[in-house]
Structure 1
Amino acid sequence: MLAITEYSVELIKDPFGILSGKRYEFILDLDVPEDDELHSEHGVYAKVVYKADEERSGIITCDLYERTTHKFLDIDVEDDEKAEFAAFCKDNLPED
């Protein structure tokens, strides 16, 4: 499992008001074990767009990047890791 060491969250503005619910961009710094295929000496973070809605909430997108280079890592996040990220985002939504 990937451990989340730090995070930041920001509301994504919808200037036209056409999207239901609110969307937040989470940046999750990850502690990746050396024996994991995701490990990078530059560090790894996940950029997660999370939709918070009364009817349906969850991850819209989840991408991985190298920390220092901001290079996109073309690796799919596993379902259990995505579920962990979704739970983390839900528990850390800002109070508006």
Structure 2
Amino acid sequence: MINITNYTIETLNDPFGILTGDRYEYLLDIEVPEDDELYTESGIMIKVLYRVEDQVASLIKYDLIDRETSQVLDFELEEDELAMIESFCKEHLPAE
């Protein structure tokens, strides 16, 4: 199971007004046990795009990123990990 150790949130602006709702980018620093297939010595971040529209929040996309090389890793989170990430993002939405 992953553990979120630090995070940042950025509100994404749509200068052209094409996208509906509010969009946020989360960068989550995570710890992964050494026996997990996601483990790397340099560490992993998760970049999450999250949308809130008509008071419905949803995860749009996520990428697992090697912290040292900034390379996107070709792995997917398990359902329980994805649910935990989505819950974390919802709980940490910026106050409006």
TM-score by length of 2: 0.94
Given that residues 62 and 77 in structure 1 are in contact (C-alpha distance below 8 angstroms), is that contact kept between their aligned partners in structure 2? no
Give me the CA root mean square deviation: 1.0
Deviates more, 1:74-83 or 1:44-53: 74-83
- For structure 1, list consecutive stretches of 5 or more residues without a partner in the other structure: none
Question: Mind listing any 5+ residue stretches in structure 2 that lack a counterpart?
Answer: none
Partner of 2:66: 66
How much does 1:18 deviate?
2.0
Identity percentage over the alignment?
47
Q: Secondary structure at the match of 1:17?
A: coil
Any runs of at least 4 consecutive aligned residues in structure 1 with deviations exceeding 3 A, and if so which? none
TM-score (norm 1): 0.94
Deviation string, structure 1 residues 18-39 (Cα, Å, up to 9, x no partner): 2221010000000000000000
Task: Report the counterpart of residue 48 of structure 2 in structure 1.
Answer: 48
Question: What number of residue pairs does the alignment pair up?
Answer: 96
Say whether 1:88 aligns with 2:88: yes
